[in-house]
Amino acid sequence: MGFPGTWMTTSESMVYRVVPKCACSSIGQIMYYSDHGTFFDGDIHDAQDGLHKWAMDHSQAPITRKVRSGDTYAFTCVRNPYTRILSSFFDKICGIQRNGRRYRGNLVPLLIQKYGIEVGSPETGFEFDQVKSFRRFLLFARDTIRWRKPMDPDIHWSAMSGHIGTFVQNGGRYDKIFWTEQFNDGMSQVLDAVETPYPLDLQTIPRFNESEGHGPKRAHKVSEYFDDLSMHLMMEVYKKDFQLFGYDFDDPDNKMPVREIDLNEVHAKLGD
C-alpha cells in the first residue's frame, strides 16, 4: 500500500501526510517555499515538481526510504470534524470548482435525485435551505463511509483517522499532529524542529485557501446544522476523530480542541 497522500520536501527536511480540508494547501505551499524560497504559482495540488508526492512514481522510493528510516520529521494537521464536514459540503457539493464545473461530474445530480439535496446556483446567489440540504448530505456521507453506497467515500469527508492511519499502518510514525485551529503555533513547532534551505515567517505568509469563494457562505452558526440525528451520525462516522484529536463532540459551536493529542494513543489505536 505504501504511503498514499504523503508529501515530502525535495530537501527531505520534512514529511507530511495530507488530510483534505485541513489547511493542506497552506502546508504544501510552506513546504515548497522552505525548499525554493518562493511559493508555487498556482494550486499546490497541481505541482508536478519541486515537492515529492506519493502520487508521482519517482517520489515513492525517496518517501518510503525516509519514512521507514524515521529520521525525517513527520507531521500532519487535523480539524474539528463539525467544521470540516460543513466545509466539504459548501465547497465540494454546493460550490463550482476551479474548472468551472460541479465536483466529480455526476455527483451533485445523484445527490439531488437520491437524497433530495438542493445546492443553489451562482445565478440565484446560492439561495436554498442550507440546514435541510446539509443534513441530507450528511446522511449520504455516512452511507458512503459505512456501506460504500451509492459510491465509495470521498477523501474530503472520509474520517481524518482513516487518512492518518495509513501512514502508521505502513511503518510511519508522526513526530507532530497539530490543529488547524491553532495553525501558526503548530506549524511553528514543525519548522522549529527542522532545518530548511529557506526560512519562513508564518506571520507574513498568505493563506492559501484554494476552496474559498467557490460556493455559498455558511448562513448559520455550526450548531444549527446539527440536530440530534445529525450528531448521532457524526458520532457513528467520526468517533475516532473526536476522541483521538481532542475535539468537543457535545458542543458543535466550540471549534477549539478541549484536550491535548496523545501521539502514543494515536499510534496505538491507528496502527492496527
For 131-156, how does the pLDDT look when each residue is reduced to its tens digit (9 = 90+)?
Answer: 999 999 999 999 999 999 999 999 99
In a domain, 178, yes or no: no
121 lies in some domain: yes
Q: Is residue 32 part of a domain?
A: no
Show the cell assigned to 163.
487518512
**How many whole angstroms from its chain centre is CA 229?**
24
Q: Tally the domains of the chain.
A: 1
Position 165 scores a pLDDT of: 97
Residues of the domain holding 110 = 82-155+216-238
Kindly state whether residue 145 falls inside one of the protein's structural domains.
Answer: yes
Question: Which position has the grid cell 506519493?
Answer: 54
Determine contact, residues 138/237, Cβ cutoff 8 Å.
no
Residue 187 within a domain: no
Confidence band, pLDDT 50/70/90 cuts, at residue 213: low
Phi-psi label, residue 131: left if phi above 0, alpha if psi -120 to 50, beta otherwise:
alpha
Residue 263: pLDDT band (50, 70, 90) is: very high
In a domain, 116, yes or no: yes
State the pLDDT confidence band at 57, using cuts at 50, 70 and 90.
Answer: very high
Q: Report the alpha-carbon distance of residue 253 to residue 93 in Å, rounded.
A: 22
Instruction: Indicate whether 110 belongs to any domain.
Output: yes
Q: Is 173 within the bounds of a domain?
A: no
How are beta strands 14-17 and 6-8 bridged, if at all?
antiparallel
pTM of the predicted protein model: 0.94
